Structures are given as C-alpha cells and as structure tokens.
A and B are shown apart, each in its own frame.
Chain A
Amino acid sequence: MSDPATGENVAGERPEPEPEGVTDETTVQGDDVELERTIGLVGGLAIGIGTMIGAGIFVFPGLAAEEAGLAATLSFGIGGVIALLVALPTSELATAMPRSGGGYYFISRSMGTSYGAIVGLGLWLGLVFASAFYLVGLGHYIVAVLAEVGVVLTGLPVGPHVILGLVFGAGLTALSVGGTENTAKLQNGIVVILLAVLTGFLTYGVLDAAGVFGRQSVPQEFFSQGQLPVLSTAALVFTSYLGFAQVATVAGEIKQPSRNLPLAMVGSVIVVTLFYVVTIFVATSSFGADRLGTFGETAMVEVARDLLGLPGAVMILIAGLLATFSSANASILSASRSVYALSRDALLPRWASKINLKYGTPHIALGMAGGPILVLVATDQVEILAEVASFLHLVMYALICVALLVLRRRDPPWYDPSFRIPGYPAVPVLGALASAGLIAFMNPASIVIGIAVMGGSYLWYRYYATDVKLKGDV
C-alpha cells in the first residue's frame, strides 16, 4: 500500500508497517523477514467447512423447522445464496490483500480506521458469540450421549448442557494455550469423517423420502408457518454460514493465495449449502416439521434413529460431537487471530497479542476469546447468541461488499486482485443489500445487543486509537 499506516494510539503504539510483498509461499516483511505460508487448499476448505457444518446440521434443523416448517429448506437456501454473494467479493479482496485479519483488514484499508475498528472489534466479539453458541450446542450433544447410555444429570442449578459447555470452553482455551499437537491435521480429519458420515446418511434419507424403501413420508404444506418466518429463520440460521470469512482471517498463511483463497471460500460455501438444504429436507420429510421442532437442538439424532435405528442415532451423536467441537475450536482460534490483527494495527494494546515463551502461543489473545465465551455460554441463550454472531458478521459482510465497490471505483494502483468476480457490480450490490436486509428479520433483542457492540467498538476507537490512520491510498 503506497500510503503506509500512521499515527499512534493512547499507549503510544504505532501500527506495524505493511509487508513489502507477497509471494505464493511467503509474506515478506520489513528487512527481509519471511513469514511462511503453510495452509494449503485442503486446510483452507477444512477451516471453512469445519467451522460451518457444526451449526447448520447438528443444531439448527429442529429450531428452524419449528419456526418455518418445511420452508426452512428455503431459509437455508437463502442463507447460502447470501453467503455466496459475499464470499465472491471477499475472495477478490483476499487475493488483492492476502493478510491476516480478513474482512477487518480489507475494510480498514479501503474505508478507514473507524469502519475498520467497528468491524474488527465486531469480528472478534462476533466470533466469541459464535463460539459460545457452538459450545452450548456441544453441551446438548454430550447430554444426549449421556442420556443414551442411561446417565441423566439432575439436581444442577443450571442445565447440564451449560455446565458441559463451560467445561469444554475452558478446556479448549487451555488446550489452545498449552497444546503443541498438530490440531490442523486433526481438524482436516474431522471434516473428512463428517462429510463421509453425512453423505452416507443423507443419501439414505433422500432415498427414503422418495419412497424407495416403501415408507410413506409425512405429507405437508411447504409454507406451514406462513412466508415471513422463512426470512426470520434465514436470519437465525445464518450463523451456519460464517465460516468462509474465517478462511480470510488466516489469509496471510494460505499458500498460493490467489488460487487457494477463492477456491476455499467459495467452495466451502457451496459444499455446506448443499449439505444443509438436503439435511433439512430429509429431516422434515421423515418426521414432519412440527414434530421435528419439538426435539430442539439434537433433533438430528431422532431423525437418524427413525431412519436407521440405534446405530444411526449413535453415528449422528458422534458426528454432532465432532462437528460442534471443531466449530468451537476453529472459532476460538479465529477470534485470537482477530485480536492479533487489531493489536498489530494499534487498535488494541500490543500486549494483547504477546506470545508466551513456554508454549509459543498467544495466551492473552486466546484468553480474550475464551473468557467472554464462558460468560456467554452461561447465559444459555442459543438463539440470541447465534443471531448476535450473525448480526456482527453481516455488518462486516455488507461493508466488505461496499469496500469492493469503493476499490473498483477508485482503482488505486496497489489494488491488483488476481481473482476478479463475475457479475460486477450486481454481485457486491446485492450482497450488501441482502446482508443488511437480513438483519431486519432478527429478534429485537439481538439487534439491540449487536448495535450496542458496534457502538462500544466505535467509542473504544475514539478513545484509544483516534489518531491511527490505516486507510490506504484510495
């Protein structure tokens, strides 16, 4: 960027200088220091799919069916289309600026520090809300597993799933700080197992719904709850589509970014959309939306039990555990990366991204993810957590689309993406409108919390880093 970041924050810290250049394998920084890129296409897809698939398949079907009936299928489809409309512009921006921080980075460089601060702090907290949501989901799955083996936890002051969510939230944070195991390999493996299990299960489910096995599927009306709930449900389940942006948060570590970033982001959105739509279709066909709604967060287990008996239920229970676990893990790591990106740019104190010498991990940034997550898990408000996470991401998505429009229009010399989206300017315009529009269909409580987080972020920027200039020469 020809106009380097300048200014200093309240603590007298300056943004780190921009890198000198980007190659397929490295980011070159300052005096010939190289930052190796080590995440390939498979790794990128695993981050995207691994973050997303947990929620859409294993937590939402019951909740969505309750609200929108069979038309929940359409809600997931709408979510997928919006995600794709945003994933394309995000891909273009990421190939022009393959640096850590993703959407926050694009927006701060093209639209200035104030937008950047709102989005950046919003991204960190959005991921915190999302992780809390996944952990509550994980808690429900563990309770269901325990119930399956005959253990029922009673006499607790709060729901057992909350306690379990808290335990796992604390455990995951501790593991991220102290663990030296190769978690990326594990994440890739989990995603492959999940996709294999789901493909098998859904294929059977679709054949069954089509009457191949001679069973009658439940006849039902598509818009059993009316048409408006389709959109409010789309807003609710949009949390299932947040993962592709997490690929952009580690854009600085992706090999051959100009090829792998678009493929990983767009690819993971398409894959999960297909899985979601088919899952909801199978789930609602087997039970009917009304009954499905009564099963809550672990409704998929009952669907599997109905289709395949006990082995099916066990299979989906295990898959659900893995999926919610991997979603929560990926989100905690992304939240920590966001804190790093903000601290690098002097929007958060430099010490926030400090690395401890014992494990080489950013314990403070991870704690700034894990701490608030535990507080949120304790609230046990699944739908609010999901919607606030979506709200904060949707604000970022809308601004990503605006950032693309700004950069394409001004066309500064440093803006040289290797991937240019088709359908300009319709795609970013629609992406921005749809992202902003979806917010309107959320719970008022979620909207209020989301706006409060944005307001707080802006005030923090005015207090802490009002002199920091991050905007590139646009």
Chain B
Amino acid sequence: MTERPSVLVPIRVLEGESIPDGVPKLLADAHVVLLGYHVIPEQTAPGQARMQFEERATARMDELEALFEEAGATVGRRLVFTHQAQKTINRLSHEEDCLAVLIPDTVAEMDDVLVAVRGTVGIDRLTRIVDGVFAGTDATVTLYHVAREGESEADAQTLLDGLADRLTDNGFDDDRIQTRIEREQDPVDAIIDATVDFDALVMGESDPTLSTFVFGLPADQVAEQFLGPVFVVQRERPESDEEQAE
C-alpha cells in the first residue's frame, strides 16, 4: 500500500459534535489529523476559554482519538481555541501538510464514491487521496467532470482517463473505476445533483473568488446539500504563505 494520506478532521470539540458513524472506518488507511477547535466570540480572549474548557476538551479529544485508532488509522491531534474557525482549519491543513479536509457526515455502506475532477491542476493530490483512502476498500469510484463551454467530450475523457491511469498505475483495481462526464451550466449544482447516488464525495477546494465571498466556498455549499462525508482536497500552498488579506 502507498503511504497514508494525511486528512484533517475538524471537530467542534465542545459543542457536542461527534464523529459520525462510519467515519473512523472510512479513514482506517489514512493518517488522521484530528483538529479539536472551539470558536469563541471576539469579546472573549482565547486564553480565557482555555482556562475554563481545556480539561473538558482534552478528555473529549482522548475519546475521539481512540475511535480513529481502534479503526486502524494513525492519529495526530491539535486543540485550538480560535475566533475564526476557517483561519484555523486552513492553517492546520497547511502546517500538517494535509491532502484533504474531511467535512464529516454519517456513512453506512461505503459502496460508491464520487470524485469530482475540475482540471489537471492538483490532480496529483487528488490521486493520492483517492488511492490512499479507497484502494483498500471495496468501493467503486466514479471520476466525474463537468465540461465547460467549448470543452470537447474528448478533452474531458482524456482528463478522466489520465486520472484513472494514475490510479491503476498505483495498483488501484481497474474494475472499481468508472468515469462520467456531464454538461451543465453550473458545476456546483451539477455536483450536488450527481451526489444523490453516492455515499461519499471527493472534490477540490476552489480558489477564493468573488462568488465564494457571496455564496461561500463551493465545497461548503455542496456539503450542506449532500448527506455524506466530503473530502475537500487542498490546494498546494506556496512555501512562504504571505499573510492573507483580511
């Protein structure tokens, strides 16, 4: 088997958010970076929350860590008190070099996985996550692409076949790979519609653009609609990440 892909699993550790059923099993072959975080309002200093809640949070983290370890994953853990959850998740995914962030949700049977492929950018990381997490399971992965205007069927097929080849080169079972191409105006809507038949979803993190400020990140929009775990594959970040604009 290939090296374990690192997956960040962010949990609001003090708000009773737990690990949904099936998720530890899903990540059995991964290196889980368990991020317990607690969001506090600006009126409160993070250290103030730590004084009061550290003990409870640590006990909870112990329980969660054990869940993943029992399922077979290796686990690293971080506990963070923060004013901005998204900043913390981004920072840790970068620091821990995580291939993907999991937006956890219940999964009963892991039979069908949808892998949304946007383009060739980041396809290496996509390959590593699909291979690392699903190679050792019986799940069928469907490589899925929403063709843009002016993009030919052949181009789209080449894109998906390229990914399929990478997977089989790594030893992924060829019979468990399918491809599917769709044409629709909005990729996010198309993905949401497509997920109905699937148990889990793997998709890329989009570059923050104007629309993401209005509608939120596509991954978050999809996760809201889809009743299953979503792996959000992280962009490769430049080594020296300049301070992000406010």
**A residues at B contact (CB < 8 Å):** 16, 25-27, 29-36, 38, 40, 42-43, 100, 176-177, 179-180, 182-184, 188, 250, 252-253, 255-256, 333, 336-337, 340, 344, 350, 353-355, 359-362, 366
Contacts and interface: CB of A to CB of B under 8 A. Distances in A.
B45 A34 contact: no
B88 A35 contact: no
Contacts of A38: 82-84, 87
B166 to A, nearest CB: 34
B150 interface: no
Contact of B43 (A29, A336, A354): A336
B206 interface: no
B38 to A, nearest CB: 9
A474 B102 CA distance: 47
A360 B49 contact: yes
A29 B44 contact: no
Given A31-B58, A36-B82, A361 B44 contact: yes
A36 B119 CA distance: 34
6 contacts: A29-B47, A33-B50, A36-B88, A179-B41, A354-B52, A362-B48
Contact of A366 (B43, B58, B83): B43
Contact of B48 (A176, A255, A256, A353): A353
A16 B49 contact: no
B246 A35 contact: no
Given A25-B91, A355-B48, A360-B49, A32 B78 contact: yes
A464 B246 CA distance: 43
B36 to A, nearest CB: 10
Contacts of B48: 340, 344, 353, 355, 362
Interface residues of B, number: 31
B54 A33 contact: yes
Contact of B81 (A32, A35, A359): A35
B136 to A, nearest CB: 30
Interface string B27-63: 0000000000001111111111111111001100000
A40 B246 contact: yes
A333 B44 CA distance: 9
Contacts of A25: 91
The residue among B44, B77, B79, B87 with the most chain A CB atoms within 10 A of its own CB is: B44
A397 B30 CA distance: 54
Contacts of B54: 30, 33
Nearest to A339: B48
Contacts of A40: 243, 246
B51 A344 contact: yes
Interface in B145-190: none
B83 A100 contact: no
Contact of B47 (A43, A182, A252): A252
Q: Which 4 A-B pairs have the closest CB atoms?
A: A36-B82, A35-B46, A38-B83, A34-B80
B11 to A, nearest CB: 15
The residue among A36, A177, A256, A361 with the most chain B CB atoms within 10 A of its own CB is: A36
The residue among A26, A31, A177, A182 with the most chain B CB atoms within 10 A of its own CB is: A26
A359 B49 CA distance: 12
A77 B49 CA distance: 41
A100 B43 CA distance: 13
A353 B51 contact: yes
A36 B84 contact: yes
